[in-house]
Amino acid sequence: MTDISSRKDDHIQLALKPDHQGADSGFDRLMFEPNALPQMALTDIDSTAQFIGRSIAAPFLIGAMTGGTNNANIINQHLAEASEACNIPMALGSQRAALELGLKQNLRQWAPKAILLGNLGATQLQQQGVDLAKKAVESVSANALVIHLNPLQELVQPNGDRDWNYVLEAIAEAQHQLNVPLIVKEVGAGIGPGTAKKLSQAGIQWVELAGRGGTSWASIELARNGSATEQEIAAPFIDWGMDTVDLIPRVRATCPELSLIGSGGIRHGLDIARCIRLGAQMTALAQPFLAPALESTEAVVEKITILREQLHWAMFLTGSKDLSTLAQAPVQ
């Protein structure tokens, strides 16, 4: 097993442990005003959404998880088949390992019509250029490409990337040259208004905020780092970042032209509803799908069904027939 594959396998096992999950994502701070007279039937609810020019069943996607290991192959098969069956988009984990190891990426075999999002790290794009991005898109016939920003994770990771010069320029060049949309995301510390503004000025239209509260990749990398010195250096930064519940309205106010994906600590359909109310167009969940994905396609479909039904309940209990009404629902 290569170092990359070994690290990816470690990530899967550690991401399942509660030790590496945020204790409080802050979503409970947002309370909807209860509507005791919804004046509709539950079956009247319409949670369909538009995402990168296509209609989807609900405003959430299966967030990026893993790639480049044998274990990841079965996980991604189950996720892709469920994505196809439920008309819910799926983001791949980082494709770097698969591309470098020459692994076949079979996603279109399992999800011929689903919205699939490719994924590369920002420093990989910086180091290898747009050609790598084009390979990532072509290898899975991706509908869009996610570029993930993870400076804290790279600092904690042994031999992680420390040179982040010209990353924004690389993103801007990819945005200009690729024939699919580019989505930029963080991995758990959040994208603040200042960064969002720079991305918008570079031509990016979709940003996934990925604030604190979900899986802590800094914590996971710290668990893998055997250096006592590096562990001590990293310790004060494990909770670095901002909560998504705070980021969404701040970024929306600064960059009203951006389309926002809320993620980072979303655990159920009520949190999805809260993100929409705060100003996000979409949401993303990863860790809640991991255990089902290790089990079966049916388990992932069941999880999607539960999340969508929870969202419908939130809409019903706020008197919101559709997402545009939910976005204006009264809050306490």
| Whole-angstrom distance, CA of residue 63 vs CA of residue 61 | 6
**What is the arithmetic mean of pLDDT over 64-93?**
87
Q: Which residue matches tokens 């470098």?
A: 100
Bridge-based pairing state of the strands 116-121 and 90-91: parallel
Specify the pLDDT at position 213.
Answer: 87
Percent of the chain with pLDDT over 70: 92
**What is the arithmetic mean of pLDDT over 277-295?**
95
Specify the pLDDT at position 225.
Answer: 83
Domains of the chain: 3-15+39-326 (3.20.20.70)
Q: Which of 22-26, 118-122, 260-264 has the lowest mean pLDDT?
A: 22-26
With bands split at pLDDT 50, 70 and 90, how would you rate the model's confidence at 253? very high
Specify the pLDDT at position 326.
Answer: 98
Specify the pLDDT at position 143.
Answer: 98
User: Cα dist. 183→118, 207, 297 in Å?
Assistant: 10, 6, 26
Q: Which of 55-64, 68-77, 180-189, 253-262 has the lowest mean pLDDT?
A: 68-77
Specify the pLDDT at position 214.
Answer: 78
- Helix pair angle (3-15, 287-295), 10° resolution: 100
Express each pLDDT in 88-142 by its tens digit. Answer: 999 999 999 889 888 888 899 999 999 999 999 999 999 999 999 999 999 999 9
pLDDT at 49 over 80: yes
pLDDT at 85 over 80: yes
Q: How many Cβ atoms from other residues are within 10 Å of residue 259's Cβ?
A: 18
The count of residues in the chain is: 332
Q: How far is CA 75 from the centre of its chain?
A: 16
Specify the pLDDT at position 1.
Answer: 47
| Whole-angstrom distance, CA of residue 195 vs CA of residue 254 | 10
- Helix pair angle (297-317, 70-86), 10° resolution: 50
Please tell me whether the overall predicted TM-score, pTM, comes out greater than 0.85 for this model. yes
Specify the pLDDT at position 328.
Answer: 98
With bands split at pLDDT 50, 70 and 90, how would you rate the model's confidence at 5? low
Measure the CA angle with vertex 197, ends 322 and 88; round to 5°: 35
Q: Which of 41-55, 95-109, 178-192, 288-302 has the lowest mean pLDDT?
A: 95-109
Q: Which of 66-75, 102-111, 205-214, 254-263 has the lowest mean pLDDT?
A: 66-75
* Residues linked to residue 285 through DSSP beta bridges, in sequence order: 62
Summary mean pLDDT of the chain: 91
| Whole-angstrom distance, CA of residue 181 vs CA of residue 123 | 19
In sequence order, the 6+-apart residues with CB closer than 8 A to the CB of 148 are 64, 94, 119, 120, 121, 122, 184, 185, 186, 187
Amino acid sitting at position 110: W
User: Cα dist. 326→8, 46, 206, 331 in Å?
Assistant: 38, 11, 21, 11
Greater pLDDT, 180 or 214: 180
Per DSSP, the three-state class of 264 is: coil
